[in-house]
Amino acid sequence: MELDPDRKLALAYVPAAARSAVEALWRLDAAFAGILATGSQPLISQMRLAWWREALERLDRAPPPAEPVLQALAAHVLPKVSGVELAAMEEGWLMLLADEALTPDELARYAALRGGLLFDYSARLLAGPLFPVKAAGELWAMADLSRHSRRVDELQSSSFESKVMPKTKWPVGLRPLGMLEVLARRDLERLGRKPEKPGSPARMLRMIHHRLSGY
């Protein structure tokens, strides 16, 4: 459930008042990723995802169990983002357990349910201005999948271009999310080649440039 170096750097630029909430939300995404990364049997992974979905939904009506991520979400994220809303992210991860290659429409739904919701909820916690963060989150989710999926042909057949936003200046309050979006653009430009190492100097410099400029 550790965050990767890229997200750790972005988190460092989240205002202190919102940092615990955003970190808890991002660690939930990391927990879902851990289930797929460590699961050798799809059925077991499905059961683990179902446990998380039900546990998240229960946060709206009962105290959290003795699980650190759930406790952090209950303490810092609710009620700005409800347990039911958090549980909706699980479906995106569940789609990746399919045996068959995902169609472009299915990949788009994965991106919306994972990255789109993650960025939308993060922006809510940051109390930022209206900005198309969902599209940025979808792009980030596709790029992150490209870094970890062996199904490269499947990814190359999807239309990443439809998710790339025009290069618009990000508002200051949402730039921790913009830092991740600019890395997603870099990753998708390298699709099919060896991905950059998270936390590498080039990536960190690009993130800091975005934090200062908004581009």
Distances (CA, A) of 33 to 24, 89, 97: 14, 11, 12
Question: What is residue 128's predicted lDDT score, i.e. its pLDDT?
Answer: 84
Tens digit of each residue's pLDDT (9 = 90 or more) over 171-207: 999 999 999 999 999 998 888 788 899 999 999 999 9
Q: Determine the distance from the C-alpha atom of residue 13 to the mean position of all C-alpha atoms in its chain, rounded to a whole number.
A: 17
Question: What is residue 101's predicted lDDT score, i.e. its pLDDT?
Answer: 82
Q: Supply angle C-alpha 203, 207, 212, rounded to 5.
A: 150
Report which of residues 33 and 102 the model is more confident about: 33
Per cent of the chain over pLDDT 90 is 76
Helix (H, G, I), strand (E, B) or coil at 23: helix
Per cent of the chain over pLDDT 70 is 93
Report which of residues 99 and 170 the model is more confident about: 170
Assess whether pLDDT exceeds 70 at residue 48: yes
Question: What is residue 129's predicted lDDT score, i.e. its pLDDT?
Answer: 86
**Where do the domains of the chain lie?**
5-213
**In terms of pTM, does the model score above 0.85?**
yes
Assess whether pLDDT exceeds 70 at residue 151: no
- How would residue 163 be classed by pLDDT, with cut points 50, 70 and 90? low
- How would residue 30 be classed by pLDDT, with cut points 50, 70 and 90? very high
